Amino acid sequence: MPAQALHSSETCQARLRTLRERFRQVRATSEALCAPLAIEDYGIQGMPDASPPKWHLAHTTWFFEAFLLLPFLPGYRSPDARYDGLFNSYYLTHGQPFPRPQRGLLSRPTVAEVLNWRRVVNLAMAELFDRPPTENLDELCQRLELGLHHEQQHQELLLMDLLYNFSLNPLAPAYRDDLPIQPEQPAAPLRWHGHPGGLVEIGHAGDDFAFDCERPRHKVWLEPFALASRPVSNADYLAFILDGGYSRSELWLSDGWAAVRQGHWQAPLYWRHDEERGWLEFTLAGLQPLQLAAPVCHLSFYEADAYARWAEARLPSEAEWECLARNLPVQGNFLDAGLLRPQASPALPGTQPAQLFGDVWEWTASAFRPYPGFQPLHGSLGEYNGKFMCGQQVLRGGCCVTPPGHVRASYRNFFYPHMRWAFSGLRLARDDNA
């Protein structure tokens, strides 16, 4: 074997050992997130975009079976071949997926059967780790890492979907009644951090993991700009509401104004107003007093854009956001903090914006489009991101239910402009020609 190939094989073997431990952790986290649920909670689907918890557990298992075990583990057989169609999300080159709006109708397989399938796949993956193929080892490692990040995406989606499903219940049930409620505190003053602009590079560099949509690294020209020191707070957004923000058509994009009228929007998705208690917010801890200093959350792109216009500012481009975030540590209020709710911005001095990572995903003004020279993954995995690069907007930074270690400065999340059930907020930007 040539020395270069031997070195590559040894590198992959070391990488596999690391990935094996990550596999255990990620798979265990998904089931731990479901531990507070009653059996009745596993099958709820409050809207076509919000999948039931049971489906998330099954689909992530399907991913490892379809893209790792069946291609790489000789002799592996699924416990039920029909699961391949039931839990394929959108990979049309792989097969015919079960209709997304009907996932809540799948009372069978039962939760117990799905959990047993997870155990079967976990045991088979342990066998694959013990006996990896001698060929295509690098492809195996790439698919494995993709599968782990895919499951982490679904951990966040699971909590997003649960919050939406529970919000439809008049009893306002809490996902967990033991979540810590942070005391109210003043919001940090909003300051501006300028950047001179110029020719910059964005996109992922290096050989470590990134989704295909984060590559290739490329040059972008930026005019001078400034980014706000913190996300827009609930108090900030409440001022917009009280100033008639939802009734002033001049603040809204045409499609946004149509969404406001059609949906009768008057506040962020989970805000409630009570004559006695004032403004409340439905959270994973149930209905709670609105924390005025915390970042506003569960906004559509249209709402974020309208607020920015009202504030005589704008949304940042994703290149502007990444340019200021790329040299900062990826630290913040993520899933492992155990709060599961955005927290107030710290009043810290500094020359860099705060809370770029964690708390809330931040809408940008950038459409989710391929970077110059974009190359999707080959085969069915090429459907992972590329087919969605139309009509959606980029969000950056992660949120309070994003698993730690999952995001990077180059990470591009994306949703359609009208969607509000993600943990999505905004940070202001402005031109800075002073």
**429-431 and 225-228: which strand pairing?**
antiparallel
Q: Please state the separation of Cα 372 from the chain's center in Å.
A: 24
Residue 346 pLDDT: 73
Residue 4 pLDDT: 40
Which two tokens mark 5? 């190939």
Mark the ranges of the chain whose per-residue pLDDT is less than 50: 1-7
Residue spans of beta strands (DSSP E) within 56-204: 192-195, 198-202
Cβ pair 175, 36 in contact under 8 A: yes
Place of tokens 């107003």: 273
Q: Is the peptide bond before 36 cis (omega within 30 degrees of 0)?
A: no
Cβ pair 103, 45 in contact under 8 A: yes
Give the separation between CA 296 and CA 115, rounded to whole angstroms.
Answer: 36
Evaluated on CA atoms 256, 411, 101, 110, the torsion sign reads negative
Which two tokens mark 72? 């790489």
CA proximity to 91, closest of 58, 62, 54, 48: 62
Residue 2 pLDDT: 40
pLDDT, the chain, mean: 95
Residue 6 pLDDT: 40
Q: Is 115 helix (H, G, I), strand (E, B) or coil?
A: helix
Residue 427 pLDDT: 98
Could you tell me where in the chain the CATH 1.20.120 domains are found?
A: 3-167
Cβ pair 227, 320 in contact under 8 A: yes
Q: Which helix (H) or strand (E) holds 15?
A: helix 3-34
Q: Please state the separation of Cα 167 from the chain's center in Å.
A: 19
Superfamily of segment(s) 192-431: paralog of FGE (formylglycine-generating enzyme) (3.90.1580.10)
Environment class of 193 (CB within 10 Å of its CB; exposed 0-12, middle 13-18, buried 19+): middle
For the domain made up of 3-167, give the CATH fold. Answer: Four Helix Bundle (Hemerythrin (Met), subunit A) (1.20.120)
CA proximity to 148, closest of 117, 116, 125, 115: 125
Q: For 348-384, how does the pLDDT look when each residue is reduced to its tens digit (9 = 90+)?
A: 667 789 999 999 999 999 999 999 999 999 899 999 9
Could you tell me where in the chain the CATH 3.90.1580.10 domains are found?
A: 192-431
Cβ pair 329, 398 in contact under 8 A: no
Give the separation between CA 157 and CA 335, rounded to whole angstroms.
Answer: 12
Q: For 6-53, how does the pLDDT look when each residue is reduced to its tens digit (9 = 90+)?
A: 445 667 778 899 999 999 999 999 999 999 999 999 999 999 999 999
- Per DSSP, 269 falls in state T
Give the separation between CA 30 and CA 425, rounded to whole angstroms.
Answer: 25
Instruction: Give the list of residues 6+ apart from residue 165 with CB closer than 8 angstroms, or none.
Output: 41, 44, 45, 46, 50, 52
